Chain A
Amino acid sequence: EVQLLESGGGLVQPGGSLRLSCAASGFTFSSYAMTWVRQAPGKGLEWVSAIHSGDETYYADSVKGRFTISRDNSKDTLYLHMSSLRAEDTAVYYCAKDRRSSTSRVPGEDYWGQGTLVTVSS
């Protein structure tokens, strides 16, 4: 059974930093792209960042230069390091697994964690 468990959220002051983790199990973590998506309170979904199996990374313009996505395949864990945090970064952050593999190149986040809340406030 595929499971994704986010951790690391909490209250942080504007300008501060935080690192989110997403522990994966139930699939060959190193073979799949992974994604972070966030949702501000009462708002819609916003794509944040993605990392492919070959470690290529991609970012939304709103976080580029402030957030860094990474993965540790030896620990089956995805990370999102967030710095220079702003009030508008307040959201639930979800990690998700991309279904793309060597046999299918059509993307889609087929498994999601339950999310971790990040609150940026003084």
Chain B
Amino acid sequence: EIVLTQSPGTLSLSPGESATLSCRASQSVGISYLAWYQQKPGQAPRLLIYGASTRATGIPDRFSGSGSGTDFTLTISRLEPEDFAVYYCHQYGFSTRTFGQGTKVEIK
């Protein structure tokens, strides 16, 4: 099973600042098989990025994904108030999938 480790656990930032979230895999993940999700309290997750770097429909361009192999990054430039949430990376293995433990982006 591929283990995804996200860092940092919590990121304290102010609106307008940029956020860099890391997702490291225990084994190589195919570039098409890494996604990022956003979750706000009491809500279902929302797909942000699929294929490591492609924004899902309706996702603002301040969200960007990059990386390959075992290291992936989600960058949020110019944080808006609605961006403060928990972010999860997710890998789609051949027969099993795993989520990272999440990074909470909170208002400083």
Contacts and interface: CB of A to CB of B under 8 A. Distances in A.
User: Range of interface residues on chain B?
Assistant: 20 to 34
A93 B97 CA distance: 16
B54 A106 contact: yes
Contacts, number: 66
B56 interface: yes
A107 B1 contact: no
A47 B97 contact: yes
B50 A107 contact: yes
Given A44-B101, A107-B33, A112 B45 contact: yes
A60 B46 CA distance: 21
User: Range of interface residues on chain A?
Assistant: 20 to 34
B51 A109 contact: no
Interface of B: 1, 32-33, 35, 37, 39, 44-47, 50-51, 54, 56-57, 86, 88, 90, 92, 95-102
Interface of A: 37, 44-47, 50, 58-61, 94, 96, 99, 105-110, 112-115
